[in-house]
Amino acid sequence: MTEKAQQTIKELLAKLPKEAQDTINAVDWIKISEEIGNEYLFDEGDVNVFQTITGLVLAGMTSPDFYAKRIEEEVSIGTERAEEIRDEAVKRIFTPMADKRMGLLKANLKGSEPAWHQNVDFILSGGDYTAFFKKPENDSGNGPLTDQKV
């Protein structure tokens, strides 16, 4: 990837939340995208373009829905081949990132089961997920009615 494109994408990625940056940095997407480009016999310019398109998707500047179309147009290859390349990038770049993110989320949620009143608060709030971030008032899981005999 050209220095200018790499610097621009680095600046865009720096604006993302820390969790997103950590997820993206967990995979060496620049190297992998170069390998994919070389496997599909791209010349150096096309590899740079492919890496830039991939970086823009990661930074949220290009919709993933248009990833294959952008590859097709920018690298001047057919639709079928662009979709193959997209599938390869999804398998080797995006899926490992998603797996890493899911692992981090699961680790953060480990041992934190919502109490019944958090579910009720969620429903009564019309879908406000912050109900699950509030700590229960006590550890019994009985919620705010613990002083009362049921």
| Integer Cα distance of 67 and 53 in angstroms | 7
Tokens 């680095």 belong to: 10
By C-alpha distance, which of 36, 28, 35 is closest to 81? 36
The string of pLDDT tens digits covering residues 56-82 is 999 999 999 999 999 999 999 999 999
The string of pLDDT tens digits covering residues 114-137 is 677 777 887 888 877 776 666 555
Give domain limits for the chain.
Answer: 3-109
| Entry pTM | 0.71
Cα 35 to Cα 47, 77, 136, 146: the distances in Å are: 9, 17, 50, 60
